[in-house]
Amino acid sequence: MAAAPSIRPLVFLGPPGAGKGTQARSVAERLGVPQISTGDMFRDHAARGTDLGRQAKAVMERGELVSDDIVVGMVAERIARPDCANGFILDGFPRTVPQAERLEALLAQSGRPSVLAVNFNLSYTNLVRRLTGRRTCVLCGEIYNIYFRPPKAEGRCDRDGGELTQRADDREEVIRERLSAYERQTQPLIDFYRQRRALLDVDAEAPPEELTRRLLALLAEEKQSAGSAA
């Protein structure tokens, strides 16, 4: 059987609440590559009570960033696994320029293609509504929004009836800190990838299904132009 064609590793960039997580899941499923969310990995560690989880939990509850060494080590181990051989989508990583530089080095060392970053653009007001309205199914991880995408039955997942919960860091005071951490530390990443001509801008105000279609079309276009330039 022929090996699946590999795609450039994708990095989804944008403020918390821009829909990166939802889109990373849908696009990854359509492309047949894993979606890697560092936030989900930390939440999983915290739920299991591992050492890493205990360290990350306090930092996350303040809306601050976990240290670069911890997060880079965790990502390096994850992308070395066989399911990442044909590509992967990173969601929530890198968050700082040093993290992006270390990712670049990791990919170069293992002879993999460089990253293509996708930048999600959204207004501040919509971001706050998306974050305060976000609810996640405890069983399957499906994401809802009480304003934009409510479940059929209040507080229950449409797929499996699982309880819908609000993340501890989606409270308004923590949101303000998360958005300002984004401005300070993540915004420079956009310049980092733009300078490398490795940035695609998307208007993230569109409804989720429409946005997935646009993203897949953009990525196909990019792949075609990269192929014809080679």
Helix extents (H) in the chain: 20-31, 38-48, 51-61, 68-79, 97-109, 124-133, 172-181, 187-195, 208-229
Pick 16 or 19: Cβ nearer ligand AMP: 16
Backbone angles phi, psi at 175, to 5 degrees: -60, -45
| Among 25, 95, 102, 130, contact with ligand AMP (rule: CB under 6 A) | 95
CB of 74 to ligand AMP, least distance (A): 9
CB of 38 to ligand AMP, least distance (A): 3
Burial of 27: CB neighbours in 10 Å, binned 0-12, 13-18, 19+: buried
- Catalytic-labelled residue, pool 25, 95, 102, 135: 95
Question: Distance between CA atoms of 20 and 18, rounded to whole angstroms?
Answer: 6
57: annotated active-site residue: no
30: annotated active-site residue: no
152: annotated active-site residue: no
Give the CB-nearest residue to ligand AMP.
Answer: 39
What tokens appear for 129 in the block?
């509504």
194: annotated active-site residue: no
List contacts with ligand AMP (CB under 6 A).
Answer: 16, 38-39, 42, 59-60, 63-66, 71, 92-95, 99, 169, 178
